[in-house]
Amino acid sequence: MKYPEAREKISRGNSFEDFAEATQGEILDKELRDYNERIAYFFHNLPNWGKIEGENIISHSYSGPCGDKMTFFLRINNGIIQKAQFMTTGCGASVAAGAQMTILLKGKSVTCAEKIDAVMIDEALGGLPEDHKHCAELAARTLHQLLKKYAFQREPRYINNEH
């Protein structure tokens, strides 16, 4: 039976608020058994979630083999990442990996950001469970594709009229 403490509170005639509080507590306890506190914090608080509005924004979406999709939005000025935000359709581990990536990116040069990989994200999170390591890979691949797009957009264009 899921959430036994919550069911017990309802059966004793306690209020819905008591039931909801007990259920939330049991869910959090399970999350902390499955993940560490840092990962649980990220998927409950969603730091750097959402699109960045305004000029000088570059974004890119990437879908992983598990079906999760991640999008990063970066504001880059003079080769420095001024702001980083993200969105994902994935699980809590994907949210944590995306949030951690944005924290790692802020204030970094594009050259430095190119070196961030899945292992660095996983280590910064304190270790994802084995069956969720691919979430760090999704964040790294999404970033690397975005940085390739950024580099391509900054390349000088030469028009060759000879075909």
Angle at CA of residue 113, ends 107 and 119, nearest 5° = 120
Q: Is the dihedral of CA 108, 110, 115, 119 positive or negative?
A: positive
Between residues 11 and 67, which one has the greater pLDDT? 67
Confidence of residue 35 (pLDDT cuts 50, 70, 90): confident
Close Cβ partners of 20 (under 8 Å, ≥ 6 residues apart): 6
Dist. CA 28–CA 70, nearest whole Å: 24
Taken in order of first residue, the domains within the chain and their CATH numbers are 4-34 (no CATH), 45-154 (3.90.1010.10)
Q: What is the pLDDT of residue 159?
A: 38
Indicate the residue type of 36. N
Residue 29 above 70 pLDDT?
no
Mean pLDDT of the chain: 84
**pLDDT value, residue 8:** 58
